[in-house]
Chain A
Amino acid sequence: MLRQILTSAVFAGVAAGVLAALFQLWLVVPLIMEAELFESGQRVHFATDGSTQSDRSAPSVWAEPLRHVYTIGFSAVTFTAYAFFMVAGFALAARAGHVITLHRGLAWGLCGAIAVVIAPAVSMPPELPGAIGAEVGPRQMWYLTCVILTMLGLVQIAFDKRPRALITAPIFLLVPHIIGAPQLDTYFGVAPAELASEFVARVMGVALISWALLGLFTAYFWTRSEEA
């Protein structure tokens, strides 16, 4: 069991993490680098000379190769962490008599994207560099609370057949948003609204595909090492 947990988490996490980083480098990182031009003032939207528009173009991702090597590395570490949580879940589900298949792995992965990215984004959207938000500590606390409660809600929907789960699952899913994330009472963004919305949409799309791959890979390595 221990070997099964270690090998499937590391193989699946690194594979999904590297692929996720490639999707990020293609779709998300150029927008981050473009936003940094506004953060540093190299590009100004609604300049004081009266012009409302600013150029649209992202810096080349090939300009800073080392920076992206770090991104790939940390993406692999992060997805390995997610894979460890997923195999822990697989092991618990297996003990309860559930069989892990590739299809179920995919469903686990999509639920992971919902819990870790999409649900928290409802009250605390992903932020471009240069966005000024509330203090980072309380936001991290809210984020973790939202992820854990969303996971508990999804687990109840998936596994709890008792009628009371119909009441408790929505409560778990909604409570973080009823409490609300820490927010400032003013807008500070310097980047164009189009850039920010494109960034948020792509973060969610990349999260969905990355987590789907993580679920598939983790289920693949899990079932393979079960047979071995």
Chain B
Amino acid sequence: MNENAKAVAATQTKARIDADMMGIAGAVLLGLTLLFAAGFAQASILHDTAHDMRHAMSFPCH
């Protein structure tokens, strides 16, 4: 493998790793958003409809 090909391979690996990290960060962000809406937001419509689930899942509810 010449130097040029090595550099290309390294760049590709780096790009793949960065895309993986974006995916992981995206998953955490999506998880946080859903969790906040379902478990923690105090808006009364969310609180009332999610009420039984919050108690049953041991979130601090009210």
Contacts and interface: CB of A to CB of B under 8 A. Distances in A.
Most buried by A among B17, B54, B57: B57
Contact of B62 (A70, A78, A124, A136): A136
Contact of A84 (B17, B31, B53, B54): B31
Given A70-B49, A77-B37, A85 B55 contact: no
A95 B39 CA distance: 30
Most buried by A among B22, B27, B31, B40: B27
A125 B23 CA distance: 35
A85 B26 CA distance: 10
Contact of A143 (B24, B60, B62): B60
A207 B31 contact: no
Interface string A55-82: 0000000000001101101110110111
A78 B35 contact: yes
B60 A74 contact: no
Contacts of A124: 60
Nearest to A121: B58
Interface string A116-128: 1100110011111
Most buried by B among A77, A84, A124: A84
A74 B17 CA distance: 34
Interface in A28-69: 28-29, 32, 67-68
Interface majority SS (helix, strand, loop, mixed), chain A: helix
B21 to A, nearest CB: 9
A64 B23 CA distance: 40
Interface majority SS (helix, strand, loop, mixed), chain B: helix
Nearest to A204: B58
A91 interface: yes
Contact of B42 (A21, A78, A91, A136): A136
B40 A140 contact: yes
Nearest to A27: B56
Given A77-B37, A78-B35, A207 B23 contact: no
A139 interface: yes
B28 interface: yes
Given A9-B27, A84-B30, A140-B40, A133 B52 contact: no
Interface of A: 1-2, 5-6, 9, 21, 24, 28-29, 32, 67-68, 70-71, 73-75, 77-78, 80-85, 87-88, 91-92, 95, 116-117, 120-121, 124-129, 133, 136, 139-140, 143, 203, 206-207
8 smallest CB-CB distances across A and B, nearest first, come from: A84-B31, A81-B34, A126-B58, A139-B60, A81-B35, A70-B49, A88-B27, A74-B53
